[in-house]
Amino acid sequence: MAGKESTFTVLLGALEALTLEAFQEFKTKLWHVDIKGGWNIHGDELEKVTHPSTLISYMGDSYGEDAATDIAIELLEEMNQKDLAEKILDEKVKGYKQKYREHVAREFLQYKEVNSCLGENVSVSDRYTTLTIARKSWSQHGDEPGDISSDTVTTQTLFEPSEDGQVPRVMVLVGATGMGKTMTVRKVMMEWVEGALCTQFDYVFCVDCEGLSFSKEVSVVDLISKCCPQQQTPAGRIWGNPEKILFIFDSFEALGLPLAQPKDELSTDPTEAKPLETTLLSLLKGTVLPESSVLIATRPAALQSLTQCLECECYVEILGFSPAAREEYFHRFFGSDNKAHMAFRFTRGNEVLYSLCIIPVMSWTVCTILKQELYERNQLPECSKSTTQMIMFYISWLLKRRGSSTWQNPQQFLHKLCSLAADGIWKHKVLFEEKEIEDRGLNQPELLSLFLSEKRLKKGTDHGNVYSFSHLHLQEFFAAMFYALEDQEETVGGSGRLAKDVNTLLESYHSSRTDLNVTVRLLFGLLSPKSAEYADEGIGCRISLRPREDLLRWLQTRHLSHPGEAMSVEELDTFHFLSETNEESFARSVLGSFTGIALRDAKLTLYDQVALCFCIKQWAGLLSITLRSCSFHQLHGRQEPATELPRESRQHEELRSPLYPLCQALGHPGSSLQSLRLQWCGLTQGDSKALGTLLATLPSLTHLELGDGALDDDGVRMLCTGLRQPSCQLHVLR
């Protein structure tokens, strides 16, 4: 409304500045105006109008705000009142700038996440977390984060001069799928609206290339119009000051354009419609609107074609979340400090998940799943989704975002990719030459770029470029998947191909190849009915459950030293393997062969405790537990005010005990535990209370050792509270 009042005020001033004769001429010309879709002012009504304010009111009611202003400008120009027309036009453009900023705020302030409910939107300012963005030269494409010798940038410094003092006219923002390119673009748009970024630009136009890919012939003005909220756009005034324009092309790779020299000549006229490739190349090369600036957000697959048409020597690449940013993202996602802290501690204890959370969309995946878990249980002593299932959720997300025009069969491609990953894991190999990619039939850029990063070799080498998986744990996941997938005729056999022998994998891990731990753990996760079902539905790959018998037999015998002896599980990884299956019946089948747990020098993270507790609850024959020099990671790193907690303060005191999850699991119905030894485990006062509760609720427990004598008087009193209960049957306390 403010813009309308301001424009009409200037229009009123212009009409009042006319002589009586000129005002009459204006009315006469207005009488001959014919507007489609609007009410034309009748000649008799115009004759009665004697004051400019009345005339403006008639024009606004008859034509509408924008049309009335345009008509006034056109008529004044016909009357050679160019100064007055220019003054009105300046005010209109000023008002339009404000309208456009309001439009951008509406379009980019909030967005809808994949998993959100109907009508539920997320604010960019609430969710955006600072990404690590590095400025690189073209020769550094594909370098690992640690190899970067150039500076890092943020959205605030994206358009600042580089070390040589130059601000490139065209900036390329590169990032793999799920790295946060579109979110960064949204952040740039919002900071421009707020006046915190790109203040040198009057207009920032963001073009979604996924919607542009179907265009045949367009002009630069057409591109501008696609971004504007109304048809009455002062295009001439906008492109008349090109140095005040920033074009942003998001999802540039969706265009699939080679950007070679087009058949048509490059354009110099913003209004000239030409093939899409020609118009874009004209804008990038600066033959049209050479003073304007361009930001391209793209996947790495489009870099090669961009290098052929751009003269700039550097670009910026999103590398993901730093450790501090990962924790910040969890707090932004959950909002509640208590739940965010609990979810982050759970993830931090899982080395695989935490490491993968460098990828923003993987952080989103983990938070989405854990939020549902906390909503249902309000705590994380258990999690119904395994690491394997979270990774499959992420891969399904990736596959759904491959180009809609792709014809490749992703399932056949994934079989070949898994073979490559497994071969690399066995050979301690993370870099793959271009020829190897081609020989395996993986040279399908649209699919390959989802999972592998391309690394340019220095000039003078004759091996072509090399590739690596976007994360080592993804290579380990696909290596595990190699052993789980049902064979396809197209991928079976072949000289030099890795044999699909699960027993060889398991025995190699057990004897010497401890580096295979993640691959083996994820294999257990894949070979569960739930994972097999999700792989079929979410990824389109069929998992064979036949190797489950090999896994079962291996776990039942790996701890066996002498036949017939009572066995204890002495390796923490056994609990992780069983927990990863998330299958109670399978865990019971394995644990039925054992009667005890004996762990030494283990630093038990929350994730370790989750795995341990899952197994204990399925273990009816567990008789003894011995933990020597083991430490328990705190559930809460800091004390929260009781008023902010969802549970009673008494329960909260127990939750702060690192031993609480274990004691809760040991007290499950059907537990027959007889002996519990916690030697040199650094027990706290809260642990004493948890143990006292266990003594009062577990009558089978007859032997308790707390070997380090670290309990103070308050701790002893809490323990005695449990000892006094009639249900306590303890015989030995040391």
Q: Which helix (H) or strand (E) holds 468?
A: strand 466-469
pLDDT band for position 543 (50/70/90)? very high
Instruction: Kindly give, in sequence order, each residue whose CB lies less than 8 Å from that of residue 732, ignoring residues fewer than 6 positions away.
Output: 702, 703, 704, 705
| 288-342 residue pLDDT tens | 999 999 999 988 877 777 877 776 667 889 999 999 999 999 999 998 778 898 8
Average pLDDT over residues 99-123: 75
Q: Which residue has the higher pLDDT, 593 or 35?
A: 593
Instruction: Kindly give, in sequence order, each residue whose CB lies less than 8 Å from that of residue 727, ignoring residues fewer than 6 positions away.
Output: 696, 697, 699
Which residue blocks in 195-336 are alpha helix, DSSP H? 209-212, 220-227, 235-239, 276-285, 303-309, 323-334
pTM of the model: 0.75
Q: What is the pLDDT of residue 591?
A: 92
Distance CA 619, CA 579 (A): 13
Q: Which amino acid is at 420?
A: L
| 180-216 residue pLDDT tens | 999 999 999 999 999 888 888 999 999 988 777 566 7
- Which stretch of 30-34, 169-173, 460-464, 583-587 has the lowest confidence by average pLDDT? 460-464
Percent of the chain's residues with pLDDT above 90: 27
For residue 248, the cross-strand partners are 206, 295
Q: Domain 561-733 carries which CATH code? A: 3.80.10.10
* Domain residue extents for the chain: 2-108, 122-320, 323-380, 381-558, 561-733
Q: What is the pLDDT of residue 493?
A: 46
pLDDT surpassing 50 at residue 651: no
pLDDT surpassing 80 at residue 721: no
List the beta strands (DSSP E) in 514-623.
Answer: 568-569, 596-600, 603-604
- Which stretch of 151-155, 475-479, 649-653, 724-728 has the lowest confidence by average pLDDT? 649-653
Contact between 522 and 476 under an 8 Å Cβ cutoff? The reply is yes
pLDDT surpassing 50 at residue 448: yes
Q: What is the pLDDT of residue 295?
A: 93
Average pLDDT over residues 664-677: 88
Ramachandran assignment for 165, one of left (phi > 0), alpha (psi -120 to 50 degrees), beta (any other): left
Q: Which residue has the higher pLDDT, 166 or 612?
A: 612
| CATH superfamily entry for domain 122-320 | P-loop containing nucleotide triphosphate hydrolases (3.40.50.300)
pLDDT band for position 650 (50/70/90)? very low
pLDDT band for position 245 (50/70/90)? very high
| 508-519 residue pLDDT tens | 998 889 899 999
pLDDT surpassing 50 at residue 649: no
- Which stretch of 1-15, 608-622, 644-658, 695-709 has the lowest confidence by average pLDDT? 644-658
- Which stretch of 285-289, 356-360, 558-562 has the lowest confidence by average pLDDT? 558-562
Rg (CA), the chain: 34
Number of neighbouring beta carbons within 10 Å of residue 377? 12
Average pLDDT over residues 274-279: 88
pLDDT band for position 462 (50/70/90)? low
Cα-based angle 12, 17, 22 (whole degrees, multiple of 5): 105
Instruction: Kindly give, in sequence order, each residue whose CB lies less than 8 Å from that of residue 279, ignoring residues fewer than 6 positions away.
Output: 218, 219, 220, 223, 267, 273, 288
pLDDT surpassing 80 at residue 646: no
Q: Which residue has the higher pLDDT, 150 or 511?
A: 511
Highest mean pLDDT among 142-146, 258-262, 714-718: 714-718
Q: What is the pLDDT of residue 733?
A: 83
Average pLDDT over residues 146-150: 44
Interior/surface letters 224-251, b for 16+ CB within 10 angstroms, e for the rest: bbebbeeeebbbeebbeebebbbbbbbb
Average pLDDT over residues 215-244: 80
Number of neighbouring beta carbons within 10 Å of residue 272? 16
pLDDT surpassing 50 at residue 140: yes
Q: Which residue has the higher pLDDT, 392 or 644?
A: 392
Question: CA dihedral defined by 60, 61, 65, 70, rounded to 10 degrees?
Answer: -60
CATH topology of domain 2-108: Death Domain, Fas (1.10.533)
pLDDT surpassing 80 at residue 234: no
